[in-house]
Structure 1
């Protein structure tokens, strides 16, 4: 293996805008990194995810194709 061609792999301190802090390893030059969303505050991971239907697209779809996908028993 060639010497001195690999990047420096070191610990990086990650800080989220919600206040959560954790340490990971990376080859990036920074030792401190700020992020906006992490697994503690992202709606997908917290279970507070909401489906927003701003244009009524779900209702429009159900009106147009609603009866097509219903099962007949």
Structure 2
């Protein structure tokens, strides 16, 4: 790699604001605060809005839309297309 042009690649903690999940990984992203981790070291922290701990798809809280009812209502209102 060319020296002096790449950002620093270091350990960073990503923390989910809603779900409470936090994990330590390596990244070039910079955090605004710090957190004391389980190993006793202090790492920069980046707070994220959604992670696998709070996303509805992963938590099983997805909403099912009634698309069949919408299609039938459209067909009743505008009729079916004639070939």
Same fold, TM-score > 0.5, yes or no: yes
Q: Return the TM-score normalized by structure 2.
A: 0.60
Report the 3-state secondary structure (helix = DSSP H, G, I; strand = E; otherwise coil) of the residue aligned with 1:22: strand
The number of aligned residues is 63
Equivalent position SS for 2:53: coil
Q: RMSD value over aligned CA atoms?
A: 2.4
Q: Which runs of 4+ in 1 moved over 4 A?
A: none
TM-score (norm 1): 0.66
Q: Please state which structure has a larger fraction of its residues in strand.
A: 2
Q: Which runs of 5+ in 2 are unaligned?
A: 32-43
